[in-house]
Amino acid sequence: MTCEDLDRRLSEGARAADLAAEPAVATHLARCPECARLMAWLLRGIGDVRVDSARASEIARTGLKPVRSLPPARTLIMSLAAIVAGVAGLHVVTMGADGWPLLSGSQAIVFAAFLAVTLALLAPAWLSSLRPGARQRVHPVAAVLLLAAGFPALAALLFPVRLAEGLAAEGVRCVAGGAMAAAMASGLLFLVTRRGYPLDWGRTGALLGAIGGLAAVAALQVSCPRHEAVHLALWHGLALILPVLAGFLAGRRAG
């Protein structure tokens, strides 16, 4: 047993009182004044710090009415999937599916796989943001960055560069249609999010925006016939980035 061993055992969560009772530790403590001093400090508690509980009770009783506990993870994930699919479907129904026949099999598969993977990362990140102290399996910033950086990169890889006239006019129409879909999906998901208690609203807003943006680019890929790298990366990319930024800023203001 060395001084460092003791620090390691403590930092791994061993209780000081339990450690002090171990013979090997006791032997070391008898020889090592520094560890003995550390141990003595650890064994000293700060006692009870009592504060007036009447005021806290008053707060806890204010407007006390029954609340519904947060639904199970499966229910929440299913509502997220329903919102994304529902809004993307609605967009295609209203804007048409002119882009669908133009997609090659490999383009459709790779694109769908990318969106499925990013959604599979965004969903648990969103889920853990609903509940304080929830296990964070996926970092929300990493999931949002993967989508925001991966989408234009994939557009450049999968689709040819063919600059043509009328780029801006068509582009603005795609951004507008996409932003509308994203706003609808993010808004609906916000209603579910309010069932929880996100501690970091800026981050949660960005997540809501990213999930809405994902629904938007998925829908645009089907509705928009301009399958060209620059149009996709720039205008569809904007339909993805703008909701993320808007969600982040709105969340920060609200939180």
Q: Which residues bind another protein (CB under 8 A)?
A: 3, 6-8, 10-13, 15-18, 34, 37-38, 41-42, 44-53, 55-57, 59-62, 64-70, 72, 130-136, 195-197, 199
Shortest distance (Å) from residue 109 CB to Zn ion: 20
User: With respect to another protein, which residue has the nearer C-beta, 48 or 165?
Assistant: 48
User: With respect to another protein, which residue has the nearer C-beta, 33 or 105?
Assistant: 33
SS3 readout for the chain: CCHHHHHHHHHCCCCHHHHHCCHHHHHHHHHCHHHHHHHHHHHCCCCCCCCCHHHHHHHHHCCCCCCCCCCCHHHHHHHHHHHHHHHHHHHHHHHCCCCHHHCCHHHHHHHHHHHHHHHHHHHHHHHHHCCCCCCCCCCHHHHHHHHHHHHHHHHHHHCCCCCCCCHHHHHHHHHHHHHHHHHHHHHHHHHHHCCCCCCCHHHHHHHHHHHHHHHHHHHHHHHCCCCCHHHHHHHHHHHHHHHHHHHHHHHHHHC
User: With respect to another protein, which residue has the nearer C-beta, 204 or 223?
Assistant: 204
Q: For residue 32, state whether it binds Zn ion (rule: CB under 5 A).
A: yes
User: With respect to another protein, which residue has the nearer C-beta, 23 or 66?
Assistant: 66
In the list Zn ion, another protein, none, the entry touching 17 (Cβ below 5 to 8 angstroms by class) is another protein
In the list Zn ion, another protein, none, the entry touching 23 (Cβ below 5 to 8 angstroms by class) is none
Member of 16, 25, 35, 143 binding Zn ion (CB under 5 A): 35
Instruction: Report yes or no: 203 and 251 within 8 Å, Cβ to Cβ.
Output: yes
Instruction: Report yes or no: 103 and 220 within 8 Å, Cβ to Cβ.
Output: no
Instruction: Report yes or no: 113 and 198 within 8 Å, Cβ to Cβ.
Output: no
In the list Zn ion, another protein, none, the entry touching 242 (Cβ below 5 to 8 angstroms by class) is none
Q: For residue 174, state whether it binds Zn ion (rule: CB under 5 A).
A: yes
In the list Zn ion, another protein, none, the entry touching 48 (Cβ below 5 to 8 angstroms by class) is another protein
In the list another protein, Zn ion, none, the entry touching 165 (Cβ below 5 to 8 angstroms by class) is none
Member of 3, 81, 141, 149 binding Zn ion (CB under 5 A): 3
In the list Zn ion, another protein, none, the entry touching 224 (Cβ below 5 to 8 angstroms by class) is Zn ion
Which residues would be at the binding site for Zn ion (CB under 5 A)?
3, 32, 35, 174, 224, 226
